Amino acid sequence: MNKTVIRIEHVSKEYRLGAIGGGTLKGDLQTWMARMRGREDPNSKIGSTRNAGAGERFLALDDVSFEVQKGEALGIIGHNGAGKSTLLKLLCRVTAPSKGKLSYNGRIASMLEVGTGFHSELTGRENVYMNGAILGMTKQEISRKFDEIVRFAEMEQFIDTPVKRYSSGMYVKLAFAVAAHLDSEIMIMDEVLAVGDVTFQKKCLRRMRAAATEEGRTVLYVSHNMNTIRELCDRCIVMDHGKIIYDGDVEKAIGIYIGANDYFRTNYEYTSSSHSRGGRKQALIESIRFEDGFTGQCTASREVRLTLGGRAVDKLQNLRFHFEIEAPNGNRIGTMFTDKEISVNKGESFTVPMSLDLSGLAPDRYIFHAVAETLESYETYAWQDSVSHAFTLEILADPDSRKMGIWATRSWGNVKLKDIRIRADDA
């Protein structure tokens, strides 16, 4: 008989938009007393008298219910802002539900953001102990598993180096290793594989899969990478606008997710709460706006023009951008880099007009992931910000039969490389 480890019952989460601070003395005292007693804030409930002004409220989760059994690997997918990360934050007690009830049986190891609990001035060794303590590990437990954590993270050479000198990938390796080696009944991972090399990503997937199948741990995994969802999960939930629209078979869930995404948007705004982010955050990507009447669809022969907007937290030189292109099956099939670097001043907002040549892509739907990065040393770039699932577009078949012919004899693949030239002197 299966044992229910997580139970979510009619959970909703409502946020107040804009400035907060217009409450009454009575309401503030009620909120303070509830916090002191560890109880639910009566003024955070949906429909309370304090919730006047529906336009100032945002429902991040709307009447969500499901159960997860012991040893189950559950994938949670959906477009940006669907409520995935909010749901995980409720489970990890980062925030409380506005309505409904959630319960779990066991200890939770979570990784909701890259490098949570890391202090830039401390070494990797010191951060392992600090981060482990934040995740609930005792000092003795960390010491017993320290060598295993460092070996898994492949950080032996850098463990006594301050983490401010780590790349984003090194951050992820160490943070995941700590979370993965915590003795827990439940593992909660939010887009942890968005940064890092392919070899380590596969290593992480094997570790999470072993946790579910061999150790009987329950795994909740959020990702925009459908391949990792396929590899890891035996059940999948699709979320849309705070609701669960499907719960069941992984392949069917992926099909619904791909079909439910909005491929016809022309303006995208990015916030830390609604998009999976990574990097040092010295420069932030805030928006992408398409130009020339772009509708989200085009032929490969059309040049796509857009403007990327952002903000510099610090003064930076040699700032460039790139887009990683993901095919519908979850494989990242290519990367496009800007041909120039820019310099930005601290606190400055910037816009970067861009033109994309997509002539090498086959007719299909694609997801683009955006990255801002700076040159650190010769041929070494550090990620400053990354936006997973930044925008989507669809390449249509070109009505010009001569151009369509480039795909006529190719039965698979999304990228067309240049033809192999047969040299006259070798013929």
Q: What percentage of the chain carries pLDDT values higher than 70?
A: 80
Band of the pLDDT at 411, cuts 50, 70, 90? very low
Instruction: Clarify whether residues 250 and 307 are in a common domain.
Output: no
Instruction: Clarify whether residues 218 and 289 are in a common domain.
Output: no
Q: In what order do the strands lie in the sheet with 57-69?
A: 57-69, 4-16, 99-104
CA atoms within 13 A on the CB side of 125: 8
In a domain, 26, yes or no: no
In a domain, 189, yes or no: yes
- Per the CB < 8 A criterion, the answer to whether 25 and 18 are in contact is no
Instruction: Clarify whether residues 165 and 272 are in a common domain.
Output: no
Structural domain containing residue 310: 267-396
pLDDT exceeds cutoff 60 at 114: no
Q: 20-66, pLDDT tens digit by residue?
A: 555 667 777 777 777 777 666 666 655 544 444 444 677 889 999 99
One-letter amino acid identity for 99?
Answer: K
In a domain, 421, yes or no: no
Q: 265-276, pLDDT tens digit by residue?
A: 678 888 765 566
More confident position, 352 or 365: 352
Average pLDDT over residues 126-133: 84
Instruction: Clarify whether residues 302 and 322 are in a common domain.
Output: yes
Q: What is the pLDDT of residue 146?
A: 92
Tell me whether strands 57-69 and 4-16 are parallel, antiparallel or unpaired.
antiparallel
Give dist(CA 418, CA 246) in Å, integer. Answer: 42
CA atoms within 13 A on the CB side of 147: 1
Give dist(CA 368, CA 35) in Å, integer. Answer: 42
Instruction: Clarify whether residues 148 and 179 are in a common domain.
Output: yes
Q: Which CATH number does the domain housing residue 335 bear?
A: 2.70.50.60
Q: What is the pLDDT of residue 49?
A: 43
CA atoms within 13 A on the CB side of 63: 1
Instruction: Clarify whether residues 126 and 234 are in a common domain.
Output: yes
Q: What is the pLDDT of residue 425?
A: 60
Match 């001035």 to its residue by tokens. Answer: 121
- 232-251 in b/e form (b: 16+ CB < 10 A) is bbebbbbbbebbbebbeebe
Select the highest-mean-pLDDT range: 52-66, 75-89, 168-182, 252-266. Answer: 75-89
Instruction: Clarify whether residues 288 and 253 are in a common domain.
Output: no
**258, 275, 291 - which closes a domain:** 258
Q: Which CATH number does the domain housing residue 119 bear?
A: 3.40.50.300
Instruction: Clarify whether residues 309 and 356 are in a common domain.
Output: yes
Band of the pLDDT at 398, cuts 50, 70, 90? low
pLDDT exceeds cutoff 90 at 278: no
Average pLDDT over residues 60-88: 90
Band of the pLDDT at 342, cuts 50, 70, 90? very high
Structural domain count of the chain: 2
Taken as a whole, the chain contains a residue count of 427
Query: How much is the mean pLDDT over the chain?
Result: 80
Q: What is the pLDDT of residue 51?
A: 45
Q: What pTM was estimated for this model as a whole?
A: 0.59
Instruction: Clarify whether residues 371 and 391 are in a common domain.
Output: yes
Band of the pLDDT at 207, cuts 50, 70, 90? confident
Band of the pLDDT at 321, cuts 50, 70, 90? very high
User: H or E segment at 318?
Assistant: strand 316-326
Band of the pLDDT at 417, cuts 50, 70, 90? low
Phi, psi of 25 (to 5 degrees): -60, -40
pLDDT exceeds cutoff 50 at 74: yes
In a domain, 30, yes or no: no
Q: What is the pLDDT of residue 31?
A: 73
In a domain, 91, yes or no: yes
In a domain, 132, yes or no: yes
pLDDT exceeds cutoff 70 at 223: yes
Instruction: Clarify whether residues 282 and 233 are in a common domain.
Output: no
Instruction: Clarify whether residues 89 and 213 are in a common domain.
Output: yes
Q: Which of 4-13, 127-136, 234-243, 359-368 has the lowest mean pLDDT?
A: 127-136
In a domain, 422, yes or no: no
Torsion (CA) 14, 20, 24, 26 in degrees, nearest 10? 60
**258, 291, 324 - which closes a domain:** 258
Q: What is the pLDDT of residue 349?
A: 94
**258, 290, 310 - which closes a domain:** 258
Q: What is the pLDDT of residue 409?
A: 43
Instruction: Clarify whether residues 298 and 245 are in a common domain.
Output: no
Band of the pLDDT at 190, cuts 50, 70, 90? confident
